[in-house]
Amino acid sequence: MSQPFDLSQFPDLPPEVVKAFEAAQSELSVERAARQHEQAVVAEKSAFITELKALIAKLESQVQDYRRTKFGPKSEKLDPAQLELALEDLETAIAETQEQIAVAEEKVAASATDPETKTSRKPRKSRALPDHLPRVERVIEPDSITCPCGCGDMVRIGEDRAERLDYIPARYQVIATIRPKYACPKGRTGVVQAKAPAHLLEGSWPTEALLAQVAVSKHSEHMPLNRQAVVMARHGVPIDRSVLADWMGRTGALIEPVVEHMAKALIQGSTRLYVDETTAPVLDPGRGKTKTGYLWAVLRDERGWNGPAPPGVVFHYRPGRKGAYADEILTGFNGTIQVDAYGGYTHLAKPDRKGGKPLKLAFCWAHGRRKLIKAKPKKGSPIVDEALVRIAALYNVEDAIRGSEPDHRRAVRQNLSRPLVDEFFTWLAAQAARISRKSELGEALAYMLRRQDGFRLFLDDGRVDMDSNLVENAIRSPAMNRRNALFAGHDDGGRSWARFASLIGTCKMNGVEPYAYLRDLFTKLANGHLDKDIDALMPWAYAEASHPSQ
């Protein structure tokens, strides 16, 4: 860099020359500073662009992972609860990266030297919040509405409205019930006092509303009691976990008659049921380890064929998976059950069935499809691809007749689906003859071929569906509870899980808010409604009472 010229070495220069020289030097300094500033801005903008490109690449990778997790073949192998947790974390990561990209874009725009090229952040797409939520309006007025032209106050010509979702933290309160006593001032009569209100848990602190909240938090939001105790302590209510467990245990015993009645209603009022089972690990105190119990789900849902009975699901806890448990649970039921091809159901279709007449077993096409996908080699398989296309054609027919009357469903299936099914199994047998039976794909093909009668059953009965996905969806909630709580502490704890899961699951199927239903149920049980009209305590009865016009 050149050294600045020193005028002191030339004291005899004319004043006008000195002035001209100083002006030129000043102009050069300004130009140099502007050039240095522009170079700094360009360098800063380049750094921002580099950062933005890295964030975009990161987002593209995250989106690819999300799609692979949700739609890729691995999603067929994940437990639904695990899949939901994985997607939750991926969606969180994507949102974080999108926010970082927005911030980086603002930095790039702010570094632009031309004001006209600067752009503000694009507003998020507005979403409508539910109408039933209470609204608190906050009007923000300008500091002054006096018109600069002197004509007086400005006139309101419109407004901008933006809605945000707020939260009011939970508040615990103590309800002190006071019952004054009255007596004759002259002592001639006895004492008069109002009767004490009935409580579900006599002699205990919780109201029916609090019991409902604890039950829903555990069995619907899957928050174990120890975590609830931590939350309550944070709000200034130090209730020990063992106390909460005592409340839930006593409440679980009181709702047992309601759940048993609901189980009988499903079996006695149906000709077709969905049945499935899921593990329920239970602590085995004698060994200090867990043993594997099972929640057997029995579900009724006639909405697919516009049936009159309301939907419902009941979970039955049993210490094992033997077929005898299924027979015991379904005692008195005669009809069709929609199941996977687990061998424990096979004896239910035999003449020597103990619980009633032989049942018809309608097998699940979704299970067959999954087995084919699982057996697909990494390099691909045209056989699996062709099978999936053929099965998809059957589901297209089902989509078109869902909700129709049984006779119409059967007629359409006979006309459209039966030829497709006949062709499918003829084609499947031809492919199986070409493939080793010991291979994974060969076993998948044989799985469906050996069970043709069960897979074909939906063709002849409009009340039967192609799969048992409805009961699999119902099982997800107890499965999530199992994931968070790890295991039940006792067989009785498993039975308590089953009862609450039955009531909450049936609430969800009928569009009933579980907390509101349980609070109402506990209040009615406290007041002896169980002996008056148990049918009115069913979740579907609560739905009808809450929405009589629907």
What are the boundaries of each domain within the chain? 7-70+82-110, 263-513
Instruction: State the CB neighbour count (10 A cutoff) for residue 512.
Output: 23
- ∠ CA 392-394-399, rounded to 5°: 90
Q: Which residues of the chain have pLDDT under 70?
A: 1-28, 30, 37, 41, 72-89, 111-126, 282-291, 478-492, 548-550
User: What is the structure's pLDDT at 286?
Assistant: 53
Distance of CA 310 to the CA centre of its chain: 22
User: What is the structure's pLDDT at 126?
Assistant: 61
Q: At what angle do helices 491-509 and 514-526 cross, to 10 degrees?
A: 120
pLDDT (tens digit per residue) in 7-28: 566 666 666 666 665 666 666 6
User: What is the structure's pLDDT at 487?
Assistant: 45
User: What is the structure's pLDDT at 62?
Assistant: 74
- Nearest partner of 81 among 481, 498, 403, 453, judged by Cα: 481
User: What is the structure's pLDDT at 343?
Assistant: 83
pTM: 0.77
User: What is the structure's pLDDT at 12?
Assistant: 65
Residue with tokens 């061998």: 343
Compute CA distances 444 → 201, 276, 427, whole Å.
Answer: 53, 21, 14
Distance of CA 77 to the CA centre of its chain: 19
H/E element, 336: strand 336-339
Task: Tell me the residue length of the chain.
Answer: 550
User: What is the structure's pLDDT at 485?
Assistant: 46
d(CA 365, CA 456): 10
d(CA 174, CA 177): 10
